[in-house]
Amino acid sequence: MHKKVFFKDKIIDKEKANLSIGSSAVLYGLSVYTVFSVTLVGDRKLAFRLKDHYQRLINSSKIIGLDGFEENWSYESFVDITKKLIEKNKVKKDVYVRATVHVNAEIAGTKSRGLPTILSVFIYDAVPILSSEGCRLKTSTWRRIPDYSIPSRAKVNGAYINSVLAKQEAIDAGFDDCVFLDGHGHVCELSAANIFIVRNGKLITPDSTQDLLEGINRDTIIKLSKEHDLTVVERPIDLTELYVADEVFACGTSANVAPVVEIDSRKVGDGKPGKVTRKVQEFHKQARHNQSTHNWLTEV
Ligand code: PMP
């Protein structure tokens, strides 16, 4: 974690950025967040899909009922904070930026509306959570929290206990990450990344109503795949389809595009990253380095 952070309304040293042990953020995990990447291209520092990340933070706040956030912040000030943090920390490598809206009320009980919120933003070196050369997954015995219990499209800190349980279980069993299933046994996502499979040349991913985070990289891959003449289908995926898929990959800000080469001790395809996955890796990388017609890059 880099030294200078944004906390409440100014940039300070990370040691001074503290939340009360009695705050709802600490007591209930009552915070929402997003993480986006900033990639160095020559002297330029390019934030990927910043506006979409800001919008997701607003949407998460709205779903949970943290009404103060949208009223008190603007996209312009969000960009400004990001620029200042990049500058003050003298960033020389690719970084991830984590922005969190915390409910800062003390002993407020299990409520969300009408309470004070604060924004924290910090940056850290961009070390991907999954290998770009192949990772091994285990189906979790923990099921994904359904949207009707904790909304999946809101990125709520407290809900990540579900991911912690599943990821730790996978690591304890000697795997790199988990595959979450929903209550009906359909595939949802990994602990912190979305999932695609390739069958007979088509890309298939669970649709966004299936208890998953609406990942910004998932959306990027859907859009770019279509532009590269690849068919993308959004529909439920059975667990056994993972076992017989030609290729499987995960995607997300901290995962990039990660080929999956083994699931539950079964090889995916020939056990090596596949051709379609390599193509997706390439155009996903291009999107983070070069401005396209989508206007997804913001100089920070
Ligand atoms: N699912 C979960 C549960 C996640 O935490 C993440 C990472 N934010 C993703 C999917 C991927 O989302 P994104 O592409 O927006 O990083």
Q: Which of 156, 213, 251, 257 to mutate to test the pocket of ligand 1 (most atoms within 8 A of CB)?
A: 213
- The closest residue, in CA terms, to atom 7 on ligand 1 is 192
Task: Note the pLDDT of residue 72.
Answer: 87
Please say whether the beta carbons of 32 and 157 come within 8 A.
Answer: yes
The ranges of the chain with pLDDT < 50 are none
Cβ of 242 below 6 Å from ligand 1 = no
Task: Note the pLDDT of residue 44.
Answer: 97
Q: Which of 38, 224, 253 to mutate to test the pocket of ligand 1 (most atoms within 8 A of CB)?
A: 253
Task: Note the pLDDT of residue 235.
Answer: 98
CA atoms within 13 A on the CB side of 78: 28
User: What is the bridge-based pairing of β-strands 135-139 and 256-263?
Assistant: parallel
**CA–centroid distance, residue 192 to ligand 1 (Å):** 5
- The closest residue, in CA terms, to atom 10 on ligand 1 is 193
- The closest residue, in CA terms, to atom 4 on ligand 1 is 192
Task: Note the pLDDT of residue 207.
Answer: 98
Domain ranges of the chain: 4-125, 135-289
Distance in angstroms (rounded) separating the CA atoms of residues 244 and 268:
7
**CA–centroid distance, residue 253 to ligand 1 (Å):** 7
Cβ of 134 below 6 Å from ligand 1 = no
**CA–centroid distance, residue 218 to ligand 1 (Å):** 8
| 4-125 and 135-289: identical CATH topology | no
Distance in angstroms (rounded) separating the CA atoms of residues 80 and 74:
10
User: For 106-134, what is each residue's pLDDT tens digit?
Assistant: 999 999 999 999 999 999 999 999 999 99
The arrangement of secondary structure in 4-125, i.e. its CATH architecture, is 2-Layer Sandwich (3.30)
**CA–centroid distance, residue 107 to ligand 1 (Å):** 30
DSSP state of 181: E
Q: Can you read off the two tokens belonging to residue 75?
A: 């996209």
Cβ of 60 below 6 Å from ligand 1 = no
Distance in angstroms (rounded) separating the CA atoms of residues 199 and 276:
10
Task: Note the pLDDT of residue 21.
Answer: 98
Q: Can you read off the two tokens belonging to residue 257?
A: 């595009």
User: What is the bridge-based pairing of β-strands 232-234 and 202-205?
Assistant: parallel
Domain 135-289 - what CATH class? alpha beta
- The closest residue, in CA terms, to atom 2 on ligand 1 is 192
What DSSP element (H or E) covers 44? strand 44-48
Please say whether the beta carbons of 97 and 123 come within 8 A.
Answer: yes
Task: Note the pLDDT of residue 68.
Answer: 81
Residue 155 alpha carbon, nearest atom of ligand 1: 5
Task: Note the pLDDT of residue 69.
Answer: 87
**CA–centroid distance, residue 256 to ligand 1 (Å):** 10
